[in-house]
C-alpha cells in the first residue's frame, strides 16, 4: 500500500483565474468597466438628465445609441471571455488515472490531491507537478518536452527516484520539499523510503526528478508519479504573469479631442443660457400677452430654472460628442485583425500556420513603431546548428565537404588524413572525439521499422536530427539543445559514433568500428552562470576521467595557460566569423580525488537549503587543473531575408536593438550579416573588456568612456536632417553601440556613490544617436529593463519587442507591442505576445504595410467622426438664435437618433477596414513612406484643427444657405409655406449627403463593399424619410414629419438648394485635390500599373477620373 503523505499542505484549487467574468458578475462588472470610459459615462449622465428634467428631446435619442454601444461591446467582451472559460474547462476537467488502494481510478484533473499517485501515458501532458516514481523504460528515465513552459521543444531526460519499489503498492515513503516557487529549473526535496526491518533510506530529489505541469511525456509508454504541487502552487501557475492592459496612442489622442469638444459643448450651452436670460430680461419678451406664465412657473427659483435650462441646452447639443465612435473603433479593430490572420503572405508551409492576433487593440500601433528590440538566437538566426570545424591541439580540422587548403599557417585537412604531417597526434585526436561523444546529454532514439515514417515527421517538429551515415540510418538524436546534436554529428563525421546510453553505460563506436563502453558516474549539469558542463566516466580499464565543455570564458581560467594560447586564436577567429564556439577539456581523476568528489556531491545533493550554491561549489572544485584539448565551431544560420527585413526597418526610420544572451563576437558578426552594422560603422564598445583597460576602477572608467562616446556620437554629430534615409546620410560617420550585461547593470544599478541618473541619461543619448545597438550577455530581466528604459525616455517612443523563446517573454510583455515568432523554442513567447508570426521576414509586411494602413485608417476614422458630428450640431446651435433660445430642436427625434447609428456609420466602417491610400507593393518597396505617419502625424492638433474648421464652414453653409432659400416664403406652386420641420429636414438632407460624399472623395481604394455601403446609406436615408413620414405611427404622440419629406421634394427650389449646397460644401476639397501636387512616390508606381493591371485594370478604368488621377496621393488630408 503506497502511503505518500503530503508535505503538510492542503491541496490547492486548479489553474489561475484568467477570466474577467463569471455568469453572476458579468452584467455589473462589465457595465462598470464600460462606464469608466469618459464618453459612455457622459452619455449616461445626459440620459438621466433627459429622464428627470423636461428636456427638448426625448430620452430615446441618447438612450438608444448608448444601449447599442454598450450591448455591442458587452457581446464582444463576453464572447472573448467565454472562449477563455472553454479553454480552461478543457484543462481542468480532462480525465486522469490515479492509483487508489492498488486500483486505477478515473478522476478529473482538478480533483488531484497532493500525495496521489498519477499515471500518465505517452504524449499526454502532466496534470500537476509530479515526482517520477516509475517509468516503462528499462533505464528508469523518461523524456519530456517543456515547450509550453519555457519554449524549448527538444527532449529533456528525467530520472526516477533510485531505490523505489518496482511494485508501487508496497512502497511506503514520505516526501519533504521546499515551498512552491516559480523557478522552473530549481527544485529541492528529499524522499525517505521505509522498508520493513531496515533503516529509512534518504534519497535527494532535484529538478531531474520533477515533472512539471504543462510538460508533455515523449518516447516513454507510461510513467507513475506522485503529486507534490497542484493547482495554483504548480510552477506553471506561479509563472503566469497577468497581461497588462496595453492602450494605444490613438486612444489617448481621442481622449484629448473629446475634452476639446466637451469644452465647445459647455461653452455653447453657456452662451445660449446667458443669451436666453438677457433676451428675456427685455420688456415684454419673457411673458408676452399670448403666452402667460402659470403661478407655478412664476414661483420657481430663478437659479434652479437657469440650471435646468443649461442642462436642456447640454442635452440638445450633446450629439457633438460621438458615442458611436467607440463602437466603430472597436469593430474596426476586431474585424481589422482578421486581415492579418487571413494574409496569405504570412502563411508558412513548413509549420502549416499563419499569423495569429492575440490583442486586436493595438493594430494601429504597428504603424507607429520607433524602436525594435529583437532577440538573436531563433529570431535573427534559425536556431539550427551545423558543425563547421574543430581545432585539436592548435590544428584545424574542417568538415569533410571542404577541400584542403592552407589558412592562417595552420593546416586545414579534409578529415583526419594521416599523410599530412601538420596535425595533432593520433591520441589527442581520439581523446578529443571521445570527449565530444561522451560529454553531452544526448539520447539516441532507435526507430523500429514501423516508426520510420513517424520519425521523419518528428525530425522536423522536435528537432530530432538523423545522421547522414548509412549503417545508423534508423537512428535519431534527441537533445536539450541543438548545439549538442551538432557536436555529436560532428564527431560522427570524423569516425566516432555515439550509440546511446543504457543503464548508466555509454557506448561509442570508434574509427576501427570497435565498440567502447564507459560507465557514466556523474553529470555536472550545464547552467547559465557556470556556462559549462562536465561528465565523469569510468573506462573499462578502471580509469576515471572528467570531460568538460563550455564557453571559452569559463574554460580558459581552469586549464594550463600555455595550452590556451594555441587555441585562443582559433576561437577568436571563429567568433568573428559568426560561429558559436565551445572549448573542450579533460582531466584524469585519481581514486582518492574521485572518492572525495563523490562524497561531496552526495552531501550537496541531499541538502535542502542552498542546494544549488553547494553543488556549484563542488563542481568548481572538481573542474580545476584540466588540460585543454581543443575547440569546436558550430554555425547558426541566419533566418531567410533577415538582412532585407532589418534594412527595411531602418529605412523606415526605426532604431533596431539586438538583445541577446550570446557572446559578443558571435552577436557582432550576426549584426554585420544582418547589415545592422555596415563596413563603415564605427563601433563604440562598453563591455567588461573595455572597462578593464587602463587599470582603474570600473566606475571611473565607465564614466570616462560614457563622456567620450557622448562627445563623439552626440555633441560632434551634425544635426540629422528629417527624412534623410540612411543610405544618403553616409557622408556623416555612423556609430554602432555594443554593451554587455555586466556593464549594463553598472549603468542601470550603479553603486551608491556613483552619479546614477547621469549615467543613464548619457547612455540613452548615445544609444539614440547610434544606427544600431547590440546588447549581449543579457539576462531575460535585463532585456525588459532596457525596453522599459527606452519606453519611459523623453517623448515616450513606441517600442516593439520580437522574440521566440521563454527568455523573451519579459521584454515582449514590457514593450508597447509584443511579437512572438512561432519558432523552435516552443510557444511561450507566442502565448504572451500581442501578435505572432511564423518568420522574422513577415515583420516587414506587418509593420510597413499592415501597420501603416491601419494607422491611416483609424486616424481618418477618428477625425471624420468629430467632423461629421460638428457639422450635425452647429446648425442646431445657430437655430437657437432664431427661435428665442427656446431649446427648440432643428431635427426630428428620429433623425437625431439615427444619424450616428444608421445614416453615416457604415461607410466610415467600410473605409476604415478596406482603404489603401497607397497600394501595398509601393508601401513594401519604399520603407521611407512609413516615416510620413510616424509620431502620430495624422492625429496631431494641426489636422484636427483643419477638420474642425471644415466642419464649422460646412455647418455655417448648411444653415445660412437654407435660411437664404427660406427668405422667399412661398416655395410651392400652390403658394403654401414651408414650416420649421421642413427647414430642419432640408438641412439634414444636405448634411447626410455632404458628409457621405466627402468620404467618397477621400476613398482611394474602391471595392464593391465601399460602393454598396456609400450609395446604400444614402438610398436608405431617402427610403427611411419617406417611410417615416408616410405612415401614421400609433405609438407617436405627435408626428412632426408627416409627409414633410415628400412635400419638400415637390419644390424645385428645395432641389436646387440641396444640390447647390452639397457642391459648395465639397468645393474646397475638390479644389485642394485638383491643385495639390502628387507625392513623389506616385512616379514609382506609374510604370508598374500595366503589369499590375491584370485583374484590377477594369476596376481602375471604371473609377471616376478624379479619383484615378489622385489615387497616388499618400494621405488625402493632412
Distance between CA atoms of residues 903 and 994, nearest Å: 12
Q: Decide: residue 450, CB within 10 A, 0-12 exposed, 13-18 middle, 19+ buried.
A: exposed
Please say whether the beta carbons of 686 and 773 come within 8 A.
no
Q: Alpha-carbon distance 910 to 400, whole Å?
A: 61
d(CA 1079, CA 1116): 11
d(CA 1069, CA 867): 14
In 3-state terms, what secondary structure has residue 528?
Answer: coil
Dist. CA 131–CA 175, nearest whole Å: 10
Task: Give the integer Cα–Cα distance in Å for 363 and 340.
Answer: 9
Cβ count near 138 (within 10 Å)? 8
Helix and strand totals (H; E) in the chain: 38, 34
CA nearest to 343, candidates 823, 846, 819: 846
DSSP H stretches of helix in 884-940: 893-898, 905-914, 920-925
For residue 414, what pLDDT is reported? 41
Which segments in the chain show pLDDT lower than 50? 1-16, 402-421, 448-474, 722-731, 1082-1118
User: 523: which 3 cell numbers?
Assistant: 553529470
What's the confidence (pLDDT) of residue 400?
53
Question: Do residues 698 and 751 touch, judged by C-beta distance below 8 A?
Answer: no
The whole-angstrom separation of Cα 988 and Cα 896 is 10
Dmax of the chain from CA atoms? 127
Q: Which among 642, 1017, 657 is positioned nearest to 841, based on CA atoms?
A: 642
What pLDDT score was predicted for residue 240? 60
Cβ atoms within 10 Å of 221's Cβ, excluding its own = 11
Q: What is the pLDDT of residues 480-519, one digit of tens each?
A: 777 888 899 888 888 889 988 887 888 998 888 889 899 9
Quote the DSSP letter at residue 888.
Answer: -
- Host H or E run for residue 381: strand 381-392
Q: Give the H/E segment covering residue 270.
A: helix 249-280
Q: Are 631 and 571 in contact (CB under 8 A)?
A: yes
Region of residue 211 (left: phi > 0; alpha: psi -120 to 50; beta: else): beta
Question: DSSP readout, 448-469?
Answer: -GGGHHHHHHHHHHH--B--SS
| Extended strands (E) in 777-887 | 799-803, 817-821, 835-837
CA pair distance 1111, 677, nearest whole angstrom: 37
**CA–CA dist 59, 54 (Å, integer):** 10
What dihedral angle (degrees, nearest 10) is formed by the CA atoms of 248, 252, 253, 254? 100
Stretch (H or E) spanning 150: helix 147-150
Instruction: Identify whether the C-beta of residue 958 lies closer than 8 Å to the C-beta of residue 875.
Output: yes
Residue appearing with cell numbers 494607422 = 855
**Catalytic residue list:** 375
The answer to whether the beta carbons of residues 869 and 323 sit under 8 Å apart is no
Q: Using CA atoms, how far apart are residues 1111 and 1105, in angstroms rounded to an integer? A: 10
Q: What phi-psi label fits residue 22: left (phi over 0), alpha (psi between -120 and 50 degrees) or beta?
A: beta
User: How does strand 772-776 pair with strand 655-659?
Assistant: parallel
Length of the chain: 1118
Identify the CA nearest to 377 among candidates 742, 108, 639. 639
Q: Could you give the CA distance from residue 506 to residue 511 in angstroms, rounded to a whole number?
A: 17
Closest CA to 212 of 161, 163, 156: 156
Which set of grid coordinates corresponds to residue 714?
Answer: 552626440
Q: Mind listing the pLDDT tens digit for each residue in 168-181?
A: 888 889 999 989 98
d(CA 235, CA 560): 42
408/691 Cα distance (integer angstroms): 30
Q: Is 426 helix (H, G, I), strand (E, B) or coil?
A: helix
Measured CA to CA, the distance from residue 415 to residue 520 in angstroms comes to 29
Give the separation between CA 887 and CA 868, rounded to whole angstroms: 22
As a whole number of Å, the end-to-end CA separation of the chain is 79
Spell 586-624 as b/e; 16+ CB within 10 A means b.
Answer: bbebeeebbeebbebbeebbeeeeebbebbbebbeebbe
pLDDT at 109: 86
- Strands 381-392 and 395-398 come out as antiparallel
Q: What is the DSSP string of 1056-1069?
A: HHHHHHHHHHHHHH
Helices assigned H by DSSP within 899-979: 905-914, 920-925, 941-965
Is 64 within 8 Å of 327 (Cβ atoms)? no
CB 1077 within 8 A of CB 1062: no
What is the distance between the alpha carbons of residues 531 and 580, in angstroms, rounded to a whole number?
Answer: 13
Amino acid at each position: 500500500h503506497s502511503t505518500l503523505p503530503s508535505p503538510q499542505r492542503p491541496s490547492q484549487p486548479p489553474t489561475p483565474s484568467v477570466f474577467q467574468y463569471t455568469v453572476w458578475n458579468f452584467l455589473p462588472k462589465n457595465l462598470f468597466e464600460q462606464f469608466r470610459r469618459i464618453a459612455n459615462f457622459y452619455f449616461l449622465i445626459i440620459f438621466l438628465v433627459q429622464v428627470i428634467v423636461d428636456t427638448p428631446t426625448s430620452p430615446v435619442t441618447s438612450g438608444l445609441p448608448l444601449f447599442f454601444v454598450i450591448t455591442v461591446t458587452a457581446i464582444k467582451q463576453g464572447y472573448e471571455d467565454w472562449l477563455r472559460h472553454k479553454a480552461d474547462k478543457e484543462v481542468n476537467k480532462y480525465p486522469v488515472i490515479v492509483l487508489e488502494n492498488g486500483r486505477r481510478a478515473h478522476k478529473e484533473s482538478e480533483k488531484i490531491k497532493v500525495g496521489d499517485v498519477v499515471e500518465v501515458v505517452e504524449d499526454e501532458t502532466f496534470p500537476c507537478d509530479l515526482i517520477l516514481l516509475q517509468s516503462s523504460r528499462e533505464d528508469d528515465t523518461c523524456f519530456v518536452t517543456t515547450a509550453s513552459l519555457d519554449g524549448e521543444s527538444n527532449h529533456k531526460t528525467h530520472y526516477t527516484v533510485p531505490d523505489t519499489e518496482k511494485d508501487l503498492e508496497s512502497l511506503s515513503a514520505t516526501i519533504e520539499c521546499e515551498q512552491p516557487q516559480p523557478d522552473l529549473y530549481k527544485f529541492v526535496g528529499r524522499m525517505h523510503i521505509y522498508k520493513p526491518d531496515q533503516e529509512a533510506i534518504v534519497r535527494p530529489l532535484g529538478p531531474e526528478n520533477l515533472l512539471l505541469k504543462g510538460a508533455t511525456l515523449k518516447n516513454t509508454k507510461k510513467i507513475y508519479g506522485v503529486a507534490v504541487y497542484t493547482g495554483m502552487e504548480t510552477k506553471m501557475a506561479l509563472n503566469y504573469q497577468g497581461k497588462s492592459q496595453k492602450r494605444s496612442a490613438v486612444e489617448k489622442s481621442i481622449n484629448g479631442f473629446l475634452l476639446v469638444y466637451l469644452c465647445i459643448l459647455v461653452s455653447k450651452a453657456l452662451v445660449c443660457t446667458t443669451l436666453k436670460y438677457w433676451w428675456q430680461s427685455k420688456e415684454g419678451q419673457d411673458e408676452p400677452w399670448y403666452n402667460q406664465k402659470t403661478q407655478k412657473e412664476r414661483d420657481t427659483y430663478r437659479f434652479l430654472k437657469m440650471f435646468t435650462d443649461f442642462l436642456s441646452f447640454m442635452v440638445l447639443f450633446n450629439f457633438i460628442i460621438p458615442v458611436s465612435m467607440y463602437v466603430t473603433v472597436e469593430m474596426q479593430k476586431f474585424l481589422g485583425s482578421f486581415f492579418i490572420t487571413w494574409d496569405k503572405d504570412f502563411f508558412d508551409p513548413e509549420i502549416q500556420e499563419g499569423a495569429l492576433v492575440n490583442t486586436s487593440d493595438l493594430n494601429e500601433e504597428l504603424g507607429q513603431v520607433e524602436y525594435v528590440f529583437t532577440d538573436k538566437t531563433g529570431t535573427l538566426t534559425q536556431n539550427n546548428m551545423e558543425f563547421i570545424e574543430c581545432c585539436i591541439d592548435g590544428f584545424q580540422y574542417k568538415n569533410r565537404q571542404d577541400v584542403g587548403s592552407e589558412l592562417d599557417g595552420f593546416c586545414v585537412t579534409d578529415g583526419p588524413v594521416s599523410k599530412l604531417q601538420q596535425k595533432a597526434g593520433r591520441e589527442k585526436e581520439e581523446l578529443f572525439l571521445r570527449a565530444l561523444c561522451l560529454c553531452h546529454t544526448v539520447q539516441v532514439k532507435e526507430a523500429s521499422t514501423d516508426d520510420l515514417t513517424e520519425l521523419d515527421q518528428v525530425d522536423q517538429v522536435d528537432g530530432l536530427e538523423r545522421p547522414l551515415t548509412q549503417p545508423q540510418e534508423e537512428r535519431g538524436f534527441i537533445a536539450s539543445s541543438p548545439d549538442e546534436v551538432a557536436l555529436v554529428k560532428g564527431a560522427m563525421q570524423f569516425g566516432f559514433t555515439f550509440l546511446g546510453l543504457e543503464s548508466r553505460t555509454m557506448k561509442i563506436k570508434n574509427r576501427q568500428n570497435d565498440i567502447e563502453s564507459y560507465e557514466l558516474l556523474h553529470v555536472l549539469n550545464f547552467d547559465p552562470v557556470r556556462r559549462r558542463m562536465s561528465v565523469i566516466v569510468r573506462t573499462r580499464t578502471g580509469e576515471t576521467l572528467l570531460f568538460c565543455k563550455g564557453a571559452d570564458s569559463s574554460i580558459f581560467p581552469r586549464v594550463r595557460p600555455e595550452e590556451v594560447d594555441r587555441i585562443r586564436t582559433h576561437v577568436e577567429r571563429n567568433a568573428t566569423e559568426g560561429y558559436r564556439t565551445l572549448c573542450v577539456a579533460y582531466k584524469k581523476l585519481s581514486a582518492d580525488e574521485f572518492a572525495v568528489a563523490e562524497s561531496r556531491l552526495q552531501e550537496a545533493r541531499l541538502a535542502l537549503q542552498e542546494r544549488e550554491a553547494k553543488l556549484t561549489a563542488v563542481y568548481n572544485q572538481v573542474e580545476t587543473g584540466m588540460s585543454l584539448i581543443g575547440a569546436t565551431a558550430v554555425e547558426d544560420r541566419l533566418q531567410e531575408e533577415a538582412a532585407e527585413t532589418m534594412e527595411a526597418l531602418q529605412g523606415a526610420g526605426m532604431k533596431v536593438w539586438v538583445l541577446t544572451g550570446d557572446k559578443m563576437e558571435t552577436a557582432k558578426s550576426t549584426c554585420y550579416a544582418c547589415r545592422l552594422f555596415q563596413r563603415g560603422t564605427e563601433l563604440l564598445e562598453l563591455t567588461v573588456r573595455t572597462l578593464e583597460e587602463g587599470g582603474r576602477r570600473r566606475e571611473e572608467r565607465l564614466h570616462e568612456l560614457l563622456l567620450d562616446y557622448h562627445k563623439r556620437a552626440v555633441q560632434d554629430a551634425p544635426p540629422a536632417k528629417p527624412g534623410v534615409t540612411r543610405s544618403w546620410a553616409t557622408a556623416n560617420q555612423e556609430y554602432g553601440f555594443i554593451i554587455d550585461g555586466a556593464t549594463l547593470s553598472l549603468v542601470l544599478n550603479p553603486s551608491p556613490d556613483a552619479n546614477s541618473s547621469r549615467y543613464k541619461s548619457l547612455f540613452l543619448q548615445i544609444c539614440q544617436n547610434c544606427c544600431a545597438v547590440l546588447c549581449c550577455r543579457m539576462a531575460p530581466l535585463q532585456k525588459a529593463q532596457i525596453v522599459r528604459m527606452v519606453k519611459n525616455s523623453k517623448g515616450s517612443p513606441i517600442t516593439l519587442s520580437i522574440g521566440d523563446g521563454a527568455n523573451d517573454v519579459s521584454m515582449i510583455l514590457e514593450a508597447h507591442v509584443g511579437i512572438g515568432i512561432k519558432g523552435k523554442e516552443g510557444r511561450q513567447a507566442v502565448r504572451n505576445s500581442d501578435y505572432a508570426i511564423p518568420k522574422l521576414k513577415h515583420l516587414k509586411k506587418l509593420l510597413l504595410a499592415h501597420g501603416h494602413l491601419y494607422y491611416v485608417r483609424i486616424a481618418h476614422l477618428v477625425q471624420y467622426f468629430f467632423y461629421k458630428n460638428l457639422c450635425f450640431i452647429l446648425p442646431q446651435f445657430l437655430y437657437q438664435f432664431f427661435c428665442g433660445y427656446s431649446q427648440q430642436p432643428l431635427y426630428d427625434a428620429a433623425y437625431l437618433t439615427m444619424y450616428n447609428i444608421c445614416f453615416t456609420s457604415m461607410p466610415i466602417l467600410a473605409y476604415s477596414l478596406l482603404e489603401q491610400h497607397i497600394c501595398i507593393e509601393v508601401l513594401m518597396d519604399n520603407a521611407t513612406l512609413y516615416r510620413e505617419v510616424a509620431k502620430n502625424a495624422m492625429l496631431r492638433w494641426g489636422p484636427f484643427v483643419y477638420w474642425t474648421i471644415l466642419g464649422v464652414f460646412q455647418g455655417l453653409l448648411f444653415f445660412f444657405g437654407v435660411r437664404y432659400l427660406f427668405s422667399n416664403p412661398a416655395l410651392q406652386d400652390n403658394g403654401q409655406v414651408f414650416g420649421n420641420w421642413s427647414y430642419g429636414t432640408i438641412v439634414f438632407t444636405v448634411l447626410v449627403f455632404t458628409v457621405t460624399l466627402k468620404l467618397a472623395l477621400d476613398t482611394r481604394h474602391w471595392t464593391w463593399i465601399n460602393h454598396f455601403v456609400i450609395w446604400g446609406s444614402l438610398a436608405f436615408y431617402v427610403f427611411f424619410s419617406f417611410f417615416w413620414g408616410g405612415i401614421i405611427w400609433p405609438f407617436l404622440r405627435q408626428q412632426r414629419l408627416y409627409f414633410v419629406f415628400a412635400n419638400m421634394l415637390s419644390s424645385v427650389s428645395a432641389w436646387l438648394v440641396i444640390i447647390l449646397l452639397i457642391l459648395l460644401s465639397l468645393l474646397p476639397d475638390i479644389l485642394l485635390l485638383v491643385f495639390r501636387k502628387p507625392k513623389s512616390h506616385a512616379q514609382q508606381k506609374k510604370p508598374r500599373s500595366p503589369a499590375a493591371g491584370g485583374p484590377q485594370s477594369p476596376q481602375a478604368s471604371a473609377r471616376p477620373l478624379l479619383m484615378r488621377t489622385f489615387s497616388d496621393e499618400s494621405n488625402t488630408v493632412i
